[in-house]
Chains A and B, each alone.
Chain A
Amino acid sequence: MIFSGDINAASLARDGRREFYGMAALCLPSFILVFILLILPIGWLFWMSLFNADGAFSAENYVRLFDSTYTSTLVTTFQVGFLVTVISVVLGYPLAYMLSQLPPRLAGLCTIFVVLPFWTSTLVRTYAWMLLLQRKGIINSALISLGLIADPIRMVNNMTGTVIGMVHIMLPFLVLPLYGVMKSISPDYVRAAANLGAGPTRAFWTIFLPQSLPGLTAGMLLVFVLCLGFYVTPALLGGGRVIMWSMMIDSSIRLYANWGAASALGVALLVMTFCVLWLVNRLFGLKRLYGESR
């Protein structure tokens, strides 16, 4: 037989590999960017966290994380993260629900109000809250002139201001994915529930809410994880009274030039972040699984 089964096989395989590598090479510029400017320096930081001030290999930096200064920061960070997440859900869920129920044109218009802050500089928005919340700020003067309070309330340079500012910044992170999930819930489900005899309230609690839960959970975890690493808003609105994890990292370097401590703090933050994200991924993965079996 002249033509064996392997005719051209070797050269075709070579062509295939060449095309594959050529195509993969298109990823290279962006991949190099991320590798050299993100993975490499963070890896370096991680490596550094394993050495003490004398340059000896030790777990010293990690043991120190259990000092009361660090643990209290950790507690503050989690407190803020928890508060911001809860308030974001309380405000974000009704907003997302309303957007999903509006006619598309109006919903699009309202979405701009969510997207615009999302892309506006964090700094600008934090500054706006400084104006609004300060001692002689707009809110205090309004409340005083309405006669509701006699003396200005302290809303800035403390936890209150930090949480308000952060909720404002985090809300779009919750609302946008949640709105996406809610929009994909077919109104037929609720109609079917009504057809089977459920009132609007009951249909919402038993049909709509459960289906929106995956989006809500993912959004909550995302908000929480972003809070853990937040820097600008607590630094400006906390007035030095709310010390969060990221500020601890910053001051370890700026004030004490202690790279070992800073990198250990950083690694801990990264690990927490990845744990939560892993959870998000699992939840969304789970949701996909449901979607297929349905």
Chain B
Amino acid sequence: MELRCDRLWLYLLGGAILVFLAAPSVVVAVTSFSDSQFLTFPPETWSLRWYHAYADSIEWRAATFTSLKVAFLTTLIATPAGTAAAYSLRMLGTRFSGAVQAIYTMPMVVPVILIGISLFFMFARIGLNTTVTGVVLAHSMLAVPFVVITVGSGLANYDFAQETAARSLGAYRLKAFLTITLPQIRVPVITGALFAFLTSFDEVIVAIFISGGDSETLPRRMFTALREQIDPTIAAISTCLIIITGGILLAVQAFGFSGKRSRS
């Protein structure tokens, strides 16, 4: 009995902390349907007013489109680059991976503000500031580690004898990779790609420094808007972002499950 009492406290406390983690997103989502200029919770009257405001604003639409484009291009660059690196690290074994892995963790551990200002400084010299190219390159650099890590852990669980077998049966290396290895690490590769997309799509700080004008991303525009005043449109946009993030995580989860099922 004593044990169960202890556990009850634990579950209550843990549950409360989970609520603390989840509540802000829920509050934003609910208030975004408010009809009032002053966001109250729960809203007194409901409407899609702020969603219309979002959809009708040329600036918000442009920023959203830019963000989607940048995130898509980032995924396109980071996924193959990161997958190739993960494969290479696995094949080269532990001889180098220590030093090389340190390089791949750097984008994750170096304070983003530093990455922002140093890129701003360098891009100023080569004319890449406020260009989509510049943002895509910077985001690809930030996203590569996520792909290397997810694909790397996928490869760690993969029986490389299969690729070896394919080669013994007459497939050259690339063919063996494409026909045997890739189909089986598709789950981590897709997961890595989705994480790369999210990394770019949500990225604020680097974008604050190097994006702008035509290349202004959605998070950058939100940040600038929030500094001035709390525009209720942002609640609607935030809700959209939460839904996109949730959707992508659900997709990752679903892929993970289907992957597990086919393996067992």
On whether the two chains bind one another, the answer is yes
Cβ-based interface call for A61 (8 A): no
Cβ-based interface call for B21 (8 A): yes
Chain B residue contacts of A124, Cβ below 8 A? 25, 28, 238, 241-242
- Report yes or no: A27 in contact with B223, Cβ–Cβ below 8 A: no
**Alpha-carbon distance A29/B88, docked complex (angstroms):** 12
Q: Mark B65-104, 1 if CB is under 8 A from A, else 0.
A: 0000000000001101110110111011000100010011
Given contacts A41-B119, A128-B238, contact A30 B24 (CB under 8 A): no
**Interface residues of A, CB < 8 Å — how many?**
78
Nearest CB in chain B: distance from A139 CB, A: 9
| Chain A interface, >50% SS class | helix
> Of the 9-residue stretches B47-55, B137-145, B164-172, which lies at the interface with chain A?
B137-145
Cβ-based interface call for B31 (8 A): yes
| Chain B interface, >50% SS class | helix
Cβ-based interface call for A119 (8 A): yes
- Report yes or no: B10 in contact with A97, Cβ–Cβ below 8 A: yes
Chain B residue contacts of A127, Cβ below 8 A? 28, 222, 226, 234-235, 238
Cβ-based interface call for B176 (8 A): no
Nearest CB in chain B: distance from A227 CB, A: 10
**Alpha-carbon distance A41/B129, docked complex (angstroms):** 14
Cβ-based interface call for B6 (8 A): yes
- Report yes or no: A253 in contact with B117, Cβ–Cβ below 8 A: yes
Chain A residue contacts of B92, Cβ below 8 A? 20, 23-24
Cβ-based interface call for B114 (8 A): yes
- Report yes or no: B202 in contact with A121, Cβ–Cβ below 8 A: yes
Cβ-based interface call for A42 (8 A): yes
Chain B, interface residues (CB within 8 Å), range = 35 or more
- Report yes or no: A121 in contact with B14, Cβ–Cβ below 8 A: no
B249 contacts which of A48, A119, A121, A270 (Cβ < 8 Å)? A119
- Report yes or no: B6 in contact with A200, Cβ–Cβ below 8 A: yes
Given contacts A44-B121, A138-B41, contact A229 B113 (CB under 8 A): yes
**Alpha-carbon distance A44/B123, docked complex (angstroms):** 12
Chain A residue contacts of B254, Cβ below 8 A? none
Nearest CB in chain B: distance from A43 CB, A: 9
- Report yes or no: A131 in contact with B31, Cβ–Cβ below 8 A: yes
Chain A residue contacts of B241, Cβ below 8 A? 120-121, 124
The listed residue with most B CB atoms (<10 A of its CB), out of A40, A125, A134, A228, is A125
Chain B residue contacts of A266, Cβ below 8 A? 111, 113-114, 117-118
> Of the 9-residue stretches A6-14, A50-58, A62-70, A106-114, which lies at the interface with chain B?
A106-114
- Report yes or no: B109 in contact with A273, Cβ–Cβ below 8 A: yes
Q: Mark A82-98, 1 if CB is under 8 A from B, else 0.
A: 00000000011011011
**Alpha-carbon distance A29/B141, docked complex (angstroms):** 10
Closest to A122 in B: B204
Chain B residue contacts of A92, Cβ below 8 A? 17
- Report yes or no: A232 in contact with B204, Cβ–Cβ below 8 A: yes
Given contacts A30-B148, A94-B17, contact A38 B24 (CB under 8 A): no
Chain B residue contacts of A99, Cβ below 8 A? 14
Given contacts A128-B24, A131-B230, A236-B226, contact A228 B14 (CB under 8 A): no
Given contacts A94-B17, A122-B204, contact A232 B223 (CB under 8 A): yes
Q: Mark A104-146, 1 if CB is under 8 A from B, else 0.
A: 0000001011111101111111111111101010100100000
Chain A residue contacts of B31, Cβ below 8 A? 131
- Report yes or no: B85 in contact with A117, Cβ–Cβ below 8 A: no
The listed residue with most A CB atoms (<10 A of its CB), out of B96, B115, B238, B249, is B238
**Alpha-carbon distance A248/B96, docked complex (angstroms):** 38
Chain A residue contacts of B39, Cβ below 8 A? 131
Closest to A90 in B: B17
**5 further contact pairs, Cβ within 8 A, besides A23-B88, A33-B81, A124-B28:** A34-B107, A40-B122, A99-B14, A120-B241, A270-B114
- Give me 13 A-to-B residue pairs in the complex whose CB atoms sit less than 8 angstroms apart, sorted by A's number: A23-B88, A25-B88, A34-B107, A110-B18, A114-B21, A116-B246, A117-B25, A123-B222, A124-B238, A124-B241, A127-B226, A130-B230, A270-B111
The 5 closest A-B pairs by CB, nearest first: A229-B111, A98-B14, A128-B24, A41-B118, A26-B88
